[in-house]
C-alpha cells in the first residue's frame, strides 16, 4: 500500500514537471502568436494595369530582424541554447499558424559572422537553415547586416563574397512577386566613398531604378514594347534604418527605453547617411521601408509628401529584448498593410517557472503535513486500542 502511494506521488510530480515544461517551452508560443493575425487591407478596386487577377491577390510576407545567432566567442553555451530554442519555437509556430509565402530577414542573422573562419561560418549557415526551416514553396531572402560582414570599414571582399554566396545576397537585389517589387540593399554598401563594393551597389541601384521607370513607361532607353502594367512603387528592405535623428518620435509597444530613444543616431553607424537616404528615395521612390539594427520597434514617415512609411523591426532574440516581435505584411501593387506580432516575453516564461516551482513547493509541503498528521493519528489510535 505504501509503495503504491509513493509511485502515485512520483507520477504526479513527473506529470506536473512535464506539463510546466510543455507549457513554457512549446504551447506558450502558439498561445501568444495565435493572437496575432494578418492585417486587413483597405478595400481597393482591381487595378486595370494588372496583367492578371493573381496580381490582386496579396503577397503574405513575414519580416524578421537581428536574430544574432551566437558563435564561439560570445555568450555561455546555455545562453546560446536558450536563445536559439526560443527563436526556433517562435519561428516555427509563426510559420505553422500564419503560413507566409515569403520571409525577409533584415540583417544581423549572425552575431559573429565577421570574425569566424570558414568552418564555423559553414556551421553557422547550417544552423540558420535548421532553425529557420520553411515549408516547400515558401521563399526566404536575407539582407546583410554589420554583424554578418562588418561595418563598412571592416568589410573585406572575402567576407562579402562568402555571405553573398551563402544567401544569394548581392549588394542590391530586386525580387518581384505578383507585381510587387522588393529591393534588398546592403546598408554597408551605401557609404558613398566610391569603394568597389559601393560602386557596384550604386550601379545596380541605378539599373533597378531605370528598370522600374521603364515599367512605369517613363524611362529612357527602355526596350520597345516593354509592358507598363508591371509597375508598382517598390518596398525597400535593409539592415540600417533610413536617416533619422533618433528614436524619440517612435511610439510602439516594443520601442526603445526612454533613455535610448533620446540618444542621437550617428550616420553610417545607427542609420544610413542623409545623402544615401535621399539618393535611395530619389532613385526608387519607395512606398515603404523595412529595417532593423536598433533592436527596437519604430514607425516613422519620410518624404516631403509624408508617404514613405518606415517600419523598424525589433530584434527576434530574447538576448537583445524581453519582448521581441516580428511583422506580417499583406501587400498588393496598389496597397499594403502591416501588423505587429508579439512573441512570449522572457520575463513571462521565467515568472511561470517560478510560480510553478512555488506552487509545487506549497503542494508538497501541504502533502507532507497531511501525511505526517495521518501517521500521527494512526499511531495514537493504535496505542489507544
Nearest to 246 by CA among 230, 259, 265, 232: 265
* Angle (nearest 5°) at CA 75 between 74 and 80: 120
CA distance 346 to 35: 17
Query: 168 is written with which cell numbers?
Result: 544569394
Structural domain boundaries in the chain: 55-344
> Whole-prediction pTM value?
0.90
HSE (side-chain half, CA atoms, 13 Å) at 111: 19
Nearest to 67 by CA among 321, 346, 243: 321
CA distance 101 to 188: 28
Q: Element (H or E) spanning 376, and its range?
A: helix 346-384
Whether 250 and 298 have beta carbons less than 8 Å apart is answered as: yes
Nearest to 315 by CA among 135, 19, 90, 28: 90
What is the DSSP-derived secondary structure letter of residue 151? S
What is the SS3 assignment for 48? coil
CA distance 286 to 307: 9
CA distance 259 to 261: 6
The CATH superfamily holding the domain 55-344 is: Metallo-dependent phosphatases (3.60.21.10)
**Tens-binned pLDDT, residue by residue, of the chain (385 aa):** 566 667 787 888 899 899 999 999 999 999 999 999 999 998 765 544 444 556 679 999 999 999 999 988 887 888 888 999 999 999 999 999 999 999 999 999 999 999 999 999 999 999 999 999 999 999 999 999 999 999 999 999 999 999 999 999 999 999 999 999 999 999 999 998 989 999 999 999 999 999 998 888 787 767 766 555 578 999 999 999 999 999 999 999 999 999 999 999 999 999 999 999 999 999 999 999 999 999 999 999 997 778 999 999 999 999 999 999 999 999 999 999 999 999 999 999 999 999 999 988 888 788 777 666 655 555 455 455 5
Amino acid at each position: 500500500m505504501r509503495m503504491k502511494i509513493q509511485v502515485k506521488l512520483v507520477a504526479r510530480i513527473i506529470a506536473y514537471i512535464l506539463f510546466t515544461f510543455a507549457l513554457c517551452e512549446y504551447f506558450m508560443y502558439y498561445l501568444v502568436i495565435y493572437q496575432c493575425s494578418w492585417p486587413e487591407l483597405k478595400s481597393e478596386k482591381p487595378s486595370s494595369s494588372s496583367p492578371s487577377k493573381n496580381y490582386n491577390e496579396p503577397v503574405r510576407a513575414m519580416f524578421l530582424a537581428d536574430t544574432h545567432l551566437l558563435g564561439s566567442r560570445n555568450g555561455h553555451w546555455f545562453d546560446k541554447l536558450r536563445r536559439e530554442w526560443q527563436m526556433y519555437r517562435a519561428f516555427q509556430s509563426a510559420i505553422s499558424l500564419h503560413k507566409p509565402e515569403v520571409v525577409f530577414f533584415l540583417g544581423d542573422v549572425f552575431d559573429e559572422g565577421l570574425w569566424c573562419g570558414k568552418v564555423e561560418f559553414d556551421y553557422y549557415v547550417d544552423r540558420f537553415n535548421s532553425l529557420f526551416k520553411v515549408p516547400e514553396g515558401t521563399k526566404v531572402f536575407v539582407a546583410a547586416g554589420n554583424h554578418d560582414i562588418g561595418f563598412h570599414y571592416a568589410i573585406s571582399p572575402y567576407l562579402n563574397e562568402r555571405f553573398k554566396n551563402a544567401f544569394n545576397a548581392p549588394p542590391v537585389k530586386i525580387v518581384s512577386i505578383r507585381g510587387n517589387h522588393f529591393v534588398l540593399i546592403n546598408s554597408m554598401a551605401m557609404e558613398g566613398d566610391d569603394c568597389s563594393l559601393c560602386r557596384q551597389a550604386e550601379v545596380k541601384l541605378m539599373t533597378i531604378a531605370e528598370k522600374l521607370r521603364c515599367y512605369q513607361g517613363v524611362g529612357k532607353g527602355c526596350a520597345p514594347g516593354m509592358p507598363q502594367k508591371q509597375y508598382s512603387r517598390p518596398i525597400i528592405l535593409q539592415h540600417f534604418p533610413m536617416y533619422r535623428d533618433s528614436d524619440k518620435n517612435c511610439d510602439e509597444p516594443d520601442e526603445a527605453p526612454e533613455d535610448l530613444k533620446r540618444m542621437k543616431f550617428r550616420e553610417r553607424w545607427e542609420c544610413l547617411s542623409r545623402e544615401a537616404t535621399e539618393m535611395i528615395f530619389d532613385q526608387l521612390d519607395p512606398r515603404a521601408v523595412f529595417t532593423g539594427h536598433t533592436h527596437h520597434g519604430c514607425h516613422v514617415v519620410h518624404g516631403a509628401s509624408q508617404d514613405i512609411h518606415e517600419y523598424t523591426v525589433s530584434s527576434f532574440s530574447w538576448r537583445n529584448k524581453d519582448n521581441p516581435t516580428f511583422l506580417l505584411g499583406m501587400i498588393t501593387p496598389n496597397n499594403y498593410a502591416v501588423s505587429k506580432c508579439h512573441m512570449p516575453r522572457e520575463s513571462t516564461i521565467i515568472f511561470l517557472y517560478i510560480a510553478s516551482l512555488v506552487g509545487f513547493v506549497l503542494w508538497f509541503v501541504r502533502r507532507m503535513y497531511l501525511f505526517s498528521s495521518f501517521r500521527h493519528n494512526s499511531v495514537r489510535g493504535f496505542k489507544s486500542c
